[in-house]
Amino acid sequence: MDRTGFHATLQRRFAEVTPHVAACGMRLTAVGDDGVEAHLPFREDWLGDVERGLIHPGIVTVLVDSACGAAVLARIADIERVATLDLRMDYLRAAVRDLDIHCHAECHRLTPGIAFVRATAWQQHRESPVAVAHAAFVRAGRRAAAAIL
């Protein structure tokens, strides 16, 4: 499968093959050589502080980690098992109720064994991020991958 076909398949099937992504209602809105864009719709379940209407940072981490994994696959453009080795989240401000959360993640360095990714999460304006992240993923190789795509 060519890169463009792989990217389209990844975008279409990511939630199908990743159960927690499907359970959260997360979806990839764009996939390309420059990374992925992910979307997480607001749910009352995400509130960590109901009185102030603040979203729990854990769900932001779930979105960012999932987007980063997808960005690695987009960069490789092939079926491969990857797993989070390290994820550093810097929360810049609280995410608030009634607004969806978006994330852009890009794999900026790829070695035979490790992939390095950076990501930004925001709500209304990309220029006003909720969090930024740096991640490292271990590459388990194609042989370890199930026929997921």
List domains and CATH numbers for the chain. Answer: 3-144 (3.10.129.10)
CA nearest neighbour of 136 among 63, 40, 71: 71
The pair of three-digit structure tokens given for residue 64, joined into one six-digit string: 């960012």
Statement: the pTM of the whole predicted model exceeds 0.85 = yes
CB 82 within 8 A of CB 72: yes
How many whole angstroms separate alpha carbon 8 and alpha carbon 30?
9
Region for 25 from its dihedrals, namely left if φ exceeds 0, alpha if ψ lies in -120 to 50, beta otherwise: left
Amino acid identity at 79: I
Q: What is the pLDDT of residues 39-94, one digit of tens each?
A: 999 999 999 999 999 999 999 999 999 999 999 999 999 999 999 999 999 999 99
